[in-house]
């Protein structure tokens, strides 16, 4: 077993409705990171799942006239379908309403707060947004409405709840983010968190009373654990907290929680305070990514009404291409406008004309001029040297970017090598060299560079486009990127002369139209 462990999580999603492409975006980024670390030799655990104990799920079921469990079962299966369509290689898909170890772990953490005198009974009166499942102060609202769900009516609640002493943790949290800036990234999100802390924290309700849906509060069955506290705890229950201490000791703390920027407060204030109160080590990092925006019409989300069906997207462009288009087009660090039209244009430019063309023309020329075998390179000129330099730079730049979740930049580095290899053919013109028997060695060198570039491209692409990477490796008769040790493949010049190069149908035929809505 590798010495290094890497534990990555996504946010778990409400299942009051079917998933959208924005859900696939977060899962695909987390999957790329998990695959990257596996490929580099780390022992990885990747957790995702669904948040099922929410009031909004219960209300959605009542509106449909069906049992709540039936609704969450049905929609949880849709989220699994989405994960399958996007090849999400999770190690566990947690479901908070049905997994008994989650319920046990939640109640164990709450008991620790009680023992630490971090919970007390009081009456709450104030504002609540069911869309966010969050309590708000008047000062948090925008024109009297929730800043995330402006179309939903803010509710005024008055009920007796258990409260968590969040105010007790203002100073420890401030110290955390001052001393460990990497604990919340990007920097704009950390500065936002520090701003909240400077204004001071108030105690927050940790239970809801009189609800029939949710995890019972320990020793108080008339209360359920407030859904956000329940949901956050999945990050520890998913690896054994409260039920399997050996497993928990192996994996915790999480190396990175990947979340959307709208839930930074919950993950960077509530969650570390909850862990401090329970005497549990803190996660190493929370990464709050930006939003996908639909063609200038606002963020992709259920509340905005802007939705793209992820299953339709995977079917339209293909799973690998959809993964690529999301991660190359939409940097995790910021909000990004997308549209089917912009995806089509990038598909044709990058995948059909770029990568697909490089593979097709290389395989065809090797078949035509060298009977389908990798030629032996003897020498090589300035163009060959330039491609090799680009390849070495791509390896360095890719890993530096991917480790920071800068997936768009990581893919930029990979496609710099695609572009360099295509340009290399424009410069060396193998089809001209083939006419002159005296230049046979030059022809061999030119085509070896194309083959070797493709070999490295296959390994670099595996975290993002796993099927494509495996297909390229199979065409080159090299070890599968799913199995090969990174140290054995990640340098220039390892492709063996004489290896068979197989021709296949084009990986990415140019698009004729787009039907995704």
Contact 217, 224 (CB under 8 A): yes
List the beta bridge partners of residue 220.
217
Cβ-in-10-Å burial (0-12, 13-18, 19+) of 242 comes to buried
Please list the rounded mean pLDDT of every run of 10 residues in the chain (517 residues): 85 93 97 98 98 89 94 97 98 98 98 97 76 68 72 73 96 98 97 96 90 91 93 98 98 98 97 98 98 85 81 96 98 94 96 98 98 88 94 98 98 98 97 96 96 98 98 98 96 96 95 59
d(CA 210, CA 461): 51
| Tokens 């493949």 -> residue | 489
3-state helix, strand, coil in the chain (%, to 5): 50, 15, 30
Per-residue pLDDT tens over the stretch 126-158? 677 766 666 667 767 777 777 766 766 677 767
Please give the Cα distance from 317 to 345 (Å, whole number): 12
Q: Classify the phi-psi angles of 117: left when phi > 0, otherwise alpha if psi is within -120 to 50, otherwise beta.
A: left
Q: What domains sit in the chain, N to C, each tagged with a CATH number?
A: 340-489 (1.10.730.10)
Question: In the prediction, which pLDDT does 131 show?
Answer: 64
Q: Distance between CA 280 and CA 460 in Å, rounded?
A: 37
Residues whose CB falls within 8 Å of the CB of residue 326, separated by 6 or more in sequence, listed in order: 21, 24, 25, 28, 29, 292, 338
- Condensed to tens digits (0 to 9), the pLDDT of residues 231-259 reads 999 999 999 999 999 999 999 999 999 99
Confidence (pLDDT) at 1 = 43
Residue 100's alpha-carbon distances to 42, 97, 279, in angstroms, are 29, 8, 23
Closest by alpha carbon to 288, among 318, 265, 315, 310?
265
Which residue, chain included where needed, has tokens 């948090």?
140
pLDDT for the residue 408: 98
**pLDDT the model gives residue 516:** 52
Structure tokens at 434: 């083939």
Residue 153 per-residue DSSP state: P
Q: Which residues 6+ apart lie within 8 Å of 324 measured at CB?
A: 350, 351, 411, 464, 465
| H/E run at residue 34 | helix 21-39
């Amino acid at each position: 077993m590798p010495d290094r462990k890497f534990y990555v999580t996504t946010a778990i999603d409400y299942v009051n409705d079917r998933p959208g492409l924005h859900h696939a975006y977060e899962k695909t980024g987390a999957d790329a990171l998990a695959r990257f670390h596996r490929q580099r030799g780390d022992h990885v655990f990747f957790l995702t799942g669904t948040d099922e104990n929410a009031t909004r799920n219960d209300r959605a079921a009542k509106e449909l006239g069906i049992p709540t469990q039936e609704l969450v079962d049905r929609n949880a299966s849709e989220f699994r379908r989405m994960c399958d369509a996007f090849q999400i290689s999770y190690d566990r898909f947690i479901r908070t309403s049905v997994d008994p170890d989650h319920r046990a772990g939640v109640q164990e953490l709450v008991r620790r707060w009680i023992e630490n005198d971090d919970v007390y009974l009081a009456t709450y009166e104030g504002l609540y947004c069911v869309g966010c499942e969050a309590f708000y102060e008047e000062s948090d609202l925008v024109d009297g409405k929730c800043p995330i769900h402006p179309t939903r009516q803010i509710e005024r609640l008055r009920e007796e709840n258990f409260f968590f002493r969040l105010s007790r943790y203002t100073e420890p949290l401030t110290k955390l983010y001052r001393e460990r800036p990497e604990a919340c990234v990007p920097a704009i999100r950390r500065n936002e968190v520090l701003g909240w802390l400077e204004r001071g924290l108030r105690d927050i309700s940790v239970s809801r009373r009189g609800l029939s849906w949710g995890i019972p509060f320990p020793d108080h069955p008339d209360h359920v654990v407030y859904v956000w506290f329940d949901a956050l705890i999945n990050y520890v229950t998913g690896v054994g907290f409260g039920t399997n201490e050996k497993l928990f000791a192996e994996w915790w703390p999480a190396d990175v929680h990947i979340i959307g920027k709208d839930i930074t407060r919950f993950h960077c204030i509530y969650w570390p305070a909850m862990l401090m109160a329970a005497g549990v080590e803190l996660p190493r990092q929370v990464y709050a990514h930006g939003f996908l925006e639909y063609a200038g019409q606002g963020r992709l989300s259920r509340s905005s009404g802007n939705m793209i069906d992820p299953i339709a997207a995977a079917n339209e462009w293909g799973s690998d291409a959809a993964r690529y288009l999301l991660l190359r087009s939409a940097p995790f660090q910021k909000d990004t406008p997308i549209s089917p039209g912009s995806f089509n244009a990038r598909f044709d430019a990058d995948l059909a004309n770029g990568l697909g063309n490089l593979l097709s023309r290389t395989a065809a020329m090797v078949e035509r001029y060298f009977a389908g075998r990798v030629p032996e390179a003897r020498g090589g000129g300035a163009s060959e040297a330039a491609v090799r330099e680009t390849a070495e730079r791509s390896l360095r730049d890719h890993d530096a970017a991917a480790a920071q979740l800068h997936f768009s930049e990581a893919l930029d580095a990979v496609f710099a090598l695609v572009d360099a290899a295509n340009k290399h053919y424009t410069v060396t013109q193998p089809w001209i060299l083939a006419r002159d028997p005296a230049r046979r060695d030059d022809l061999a060198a030119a085509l070896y560079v194309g083959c070797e570039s493709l070999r490295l491209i296959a390994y670099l692409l595996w975290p993002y486009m796993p099927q494509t990477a495996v297909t390229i490796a199979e065409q080159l008769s090299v070890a599968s990127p799913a199995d090969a040790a990174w140290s054995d493949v990640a340098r220039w010049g390892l492709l063996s002369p004489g290896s068979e190069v197989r021709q296949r149908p084009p990986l990415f035929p140019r698009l004729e139209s787009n039907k995704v809505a």
